[in-house]
Amino acid sequence: MKKFAEKIAIAALPTPIYSASRLSSILGGPEILVKRDDMTGVAVSGNKVRKLEYCAAEAISEGAGVLITCGGPQSNHARATAAVAARLGLRSHLVLGGPPEKVPDGNLFLDRLFGAGTTFIPGAALLELAEAMEETAESYRREGVKPYIIPLGASDALGSLGYIDAIGEIKKQIGEMGITIDHIVFASGSGGTLAGIVAGCLVHGLECGVTGISVAFPSSWSDTKLEEVFSGLRERFIPDLPSPSGRYSVNADYIGEGYGKASPELIRFIREAASLEALLLDPTYSGKALFGLAGEIEKGTFKKGERVLFIHTGGTFGLFPYREQFASEF
Ligand SMILES: Cc1ncc(COP(=O)(O)O)c(C=O)c1O
């Protein structure tokens, strides 16, 4: 495997791939394989562990004592950062755009268990938290603790290396399985997973379609973000990284009413996937992405005779705050 930077190997890799045969047959289109990146370990941390292996290595090499990051109050990334910090004996501090909960649920509950410090900024959007992270970092410096800031979703060049590796892993696995894949589909939020997957296909020579189902931002935002991460990758790690143009698409048709908002159809779909395949998909990320894949199968974008690899990026604990919406379906 090509090595572009140091990482701390704490994820349980390779994650398994299996054929979701009942789901495939109900949807009536391509064979759907699921890459179980919800099983990366470190307290069920999902896709973010792959990125955080690199961020944590850099933080430790710089002598940092606290990892600072941001997200919504139910951020999987923030929770994964708190878990990784606890696993490595570092402190963590999460800047969360929203009000504190009286009784913390889901990811926030776990943030508390992992011992993370928190700063809540009610009403702040996800893209407005960078300044507050700087202020938090300054307060740790005053205490004599060196901070390391991880940007939203660890979606920078360093974090995206985790998904370049993931593509190398997938290429090896499908080679051993004696199969090829036509498309990779997954949830796209802050864009680092998308950038890593596209770069990974270019670096490892994996020829297949790449579709990120956007859960928050318009596709033009994702395009700009991907270019930004690619520039960082060329500057820091892979000078000859080719252009990503024409190698991926971002589908923003399934955001619905917004980030974290779940329609009754989405809730029903997630329940069906759980009962058919024992897949735990959350309404904010992985559930919305698989729902998007199902919608695109219905439209004929992905067809019978093809093989789609759906990357289950995790988000399991994000299911719990939706209990009431599910209850009306039981
Ligand atoms: C479960 C899950 N899936 C997918 C994503 C999207 O990853 P990215 O932010 O790299 O686009 C996230 C991001 O937080 C996530 O928590």
The domains of the chain, with CATH numbers, are 17-45+155-327 (3.40.50.1100), 48-153 (3.40.50.1100)
Distance 65 CA to ligand 1 centre (A): 25
Atom of ligand 1 nearest to the CA of 71: 14
Give the whole-angstrom CA distance, residue 159 versus residue 236.
Answer: 12
Give the whole-angstrom CA distance, residue 23 versus residue 149.
Answer: 40
**What pLDDT is recorded for position 2?**
82
What is the three-class DSSP state of 128? helix
The verdict on whether omega for the bond into residue 264 sits within 30 degrees of 0, i.e. cis, is: no
Distance from the first to the final alpha carbon of the chain: 46
Give the whole-angstrom CA distance, residue 52 versus residue 165.
Answer: 13
| pLDDT range class, residue 10, cuts 50, 70, 90 | very high
Distance 156 CA to ligand 1 centre (A): 13
Give the whole-angstrom CA distance, residue 146 versus residue 137.
Answer: 8
**What pLDDT is recorded for position 43?**
87
Residue 16 has pLDDT above 90, yes or no: yes
Residue 44 has pLDDT above 90, yes or no: no
Give the whole-angstrom CA distance, residue 122 versus residue 89.
Answer: 30
Residue 96 has pLDDT above 90, yes or no: yes
Atom of ligand 1 nearest to the CA of 153: 9
Residue 321 has pLDDT above 90, yes or no: yes
Of the residues 24, 45, 75, 188, only one is catalytic, namely 75
Q: Provide the whole-model pTM.
A: 0.97
**What pLDDT is recorded for position 127?**
86
Q: Taking each helix axis as running N to C, give the angle between helix 192-204 and helix 219-236, from 0 to 180 degrees, rounded to the nearest 10.
A: 50
Distance 131 CA to ligand 1 centre (A): 22
**What pLDDT is recorded for position 87?**
97
| Ligand 1 residue neighbourhood (C-beta within 6 Å) | 46-47, 76-77, 153, 155, 187-194, 285-286, 313-315
Q: Which of 48, 222, 224 to mutate to test the pocket of ligand 1 (most atoms within 8 A of CB)?
A: 48
Atom of ligand 1 nearest to the CA of 195: 10
Distance 72 CA to ligand 1 centre (A): 12
Q: What is the pLDDT of residues 50-77, one digit of tens each?
A: 999 999 999 999 999 999 999 999 999 9
Distance 55 CA to ligand 1 centre (A): 16
Q: What is the pLDDT of residues 125-168, one digit of tens each?
A: 888 999 999 999 999 999 999 999 999 999 999 999 999 999 99
The residue behind tokens 């702040």 is: 124
- CA 307 to chain CA centroid, Å, is 22
**What pLDDT is recorded for position 284?**
97
Q: Are 173 and 309 in contact (CB under 8 A)?
A: no
Residue 329 has pLDDT above 90, yes or no: no
Atom of ligand 1 nearest to the CA of 187: 4
Q: What is the DSSP string of 243-303?
A: P-TTS-EEE-TT-TTSTT---HHHHHHHHHHHHHH-----TTTHHHHHHHHHHHHHHTSS-
187 Cβ contact partners less than 8 Å away, ≥ 6 residues apart: 193, 212, 213, 215, 285, 286, 288, 289, 313, 315
Structure token pair of residue 75: 């951020």
Residue 1 has pLDDT above 80, yes or no: no
Q: What is the pLDDT of residues 268-311, one digit of tens each?
A: 999 999 999 999 999 999 999 999 999 999 999 999 999 999 99
Q: What is the pLDDT of residues 192-235, one digit of tens each?
A: 999 999 999 999 999 999 999 999 999 999 999 999 999 999 99
Distance 7 CA to ligand 1 centre (A): 20
Q: Which of 45, 50, 77 to mutate to test the pocket of ligand 1 (most atoms within 8 A of CB)?
A: 77
Q: What's the chain's average pLDDT? A: 97
Atom of ligand 1 nearest to the CA of 314: 1
Q: What is the pLDDT of residues 99-126, one digit of tens each?
A: 998 899 999 999 999 999 999 999 998 8
What is the three-class DSSP state of 63? coil
Q: Which of 313, 316, 319 to mutate to test the pocket of ligand 1 (most atoms within 8 A of CB)?
A: 313
Q: Which residue's alpha carbon is nearest to atom 3 within ligand 1?
A: 313
**What pLDDT is recorded for position 126?**
85
Q: Which residue's alpha carbon is nearest to atom 14 within ligand 1?
A: 77
**Is 188 one of the catalytic residues?**
no
